[in-house]
């Protein structure tokens, strides 16, 4: 952790934590930029250990409101692709830099946003009741993309959001599925990062100091979510997915 917390560093970390909290109760993809912000402020290794306990706290806040609304069928469908994405990412790290991988991911996400917008314009999108007819290849693609983006760029929210938008998931099911998905994923990360020494006594003390910001961000998210309808929810999710994709393309 930093030896001194200057005003600029505090501001960047505080904004990132607020975005994480907001993303857990209003729009999952809103937290995508928070990962790179923390990595730039604290360094990628320190940021990884610092973020996970706060993310789990944010997940718990989200579960308070959305735990009963998850679409487990859709979540289970995407799991095989996510696991494949983990393996692909591990292999890619042996041949390419994280920056290059993140930019390739950004391009794929942008293409996915473009295809979704095209499908909406031509009225080819199926309603949620007919999601069983979506080709397995498409589900596998979004699952793999979610796995790769989660492992390589900490941006799984963008890919998962695009998957759920494509499946025409209602707002409450969208949030419930996302919260449960990332809660489970973050719990799985703990036995991996703790032995690596990424979570320390010092980082946990810092987590306690920043924890109120996660709660504030989550409460702001709840207030925002209650004022959105399905049309605007989907539009904002697509817009933020596009912005997150551009961020990855430009900054890696």
Q: pLDDT tens digits, residue range 60-117? A: 999 999 999 999 998 998 989 888 888 887 787 677 776 777 778 778 888 888 877 7
pLDDT over threshold 90, residue 27? no
| Residue 107, domain member (yes or no) | yes
Please check whether residue 16 is in contact with residue 212, taking contact to mean a CB–CB distance below 8 angstroms.
no
Number of domains in the chain: 1
DSSP state of 226: T
CA–CA distance, 60 with 66 (Å, rounded to integer): 10
| Residue 38, domain member (yes or no) | yes
| Residue 2, domain member (yes or no) | no
| Residue 20, domain member (yes or no) | yes
Q: pLDDT tens digits, residue range 113-152? A: 887 777 777 655 444 444 444 567 778 888 888 887 776 6
Question: Domain range for residue 241?
Answer: 7-251
Exposed / middle / buried, residue 36 (Cβ in 10 Å: 0-12, 13-18, 19+) = buried
The vertex-163 CA angle with 158 and 168, nearest 5°, equals 120
What's the confidence (pLDDT) of residue 252?
63
| Residue 115, domain member (yes or no) | yes
C-alpha distances in angstroms, 104 versus 97, 99, 122, 141, 148? Answer: 11, 9, 27, 14, 11
| Residue 1, domain member (yes or no) | no
Q: pLDDT tens digits, residue range 187-221? A: 888 887 888 788 888 989 999 999 999 999 999 99
Please check whether residue 45 is in contact with residue 244, taking contact to mean a CB–CB distance below 8 angstroms.
no
Tokens 């069983």 belong to which residue?
132
């Amino acid at each position: 952790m930093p030896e001194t917390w200057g005003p600029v560093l505090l501001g960047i970390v505080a904004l990132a934590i607020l975005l994480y909290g907001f993303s857990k109760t209003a729009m999952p993809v809103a937290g995508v930029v928070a990962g790179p912000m923390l990595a730039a402020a604290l360094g990628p290794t320190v940021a990884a250990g610092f973020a996970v306990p706060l993310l789990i706290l944010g997940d718990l806040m989200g579960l308070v409101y959305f735990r009963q609304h998850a679409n487990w069928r859709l979540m289970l469908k995407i799991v095989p692709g996510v696991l494949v994405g983990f393996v692909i990412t591990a292999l890619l790290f042996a041949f390419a830099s994280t920056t290059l991988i993140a930019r390739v991911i950004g391009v794929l996400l942008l293409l996915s946003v473009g295809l979704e917008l095209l499908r909406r314009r031509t009225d080819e999108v199926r309603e949620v009741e007919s999601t069983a007819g979506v080709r397995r290849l498409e589900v596998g693609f979004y699952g793999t993309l979610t796995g790769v983006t989660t492992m390589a760029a900490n941006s799984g929210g963008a890919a998962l959001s695009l998957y759920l938008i494509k499946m025409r998931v209602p707002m409450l099911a969208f949030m419930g599925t996302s919260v449960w998905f990332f809660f489970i994923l973050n719990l799985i990360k703990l036995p991996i990062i703790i032995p690596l020494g990424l979570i320390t006594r010092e980082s946990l003390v810092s987590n306690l100091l920043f924890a109120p910001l996660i709660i504030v961000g989550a409460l702001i998210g709840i207030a925002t979510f209650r004022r959105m309808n399905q049309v605007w929810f989907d539009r904002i999710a697509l817009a933020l997915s596009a912005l997150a994709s551009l961020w990855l393309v430009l900054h890696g």
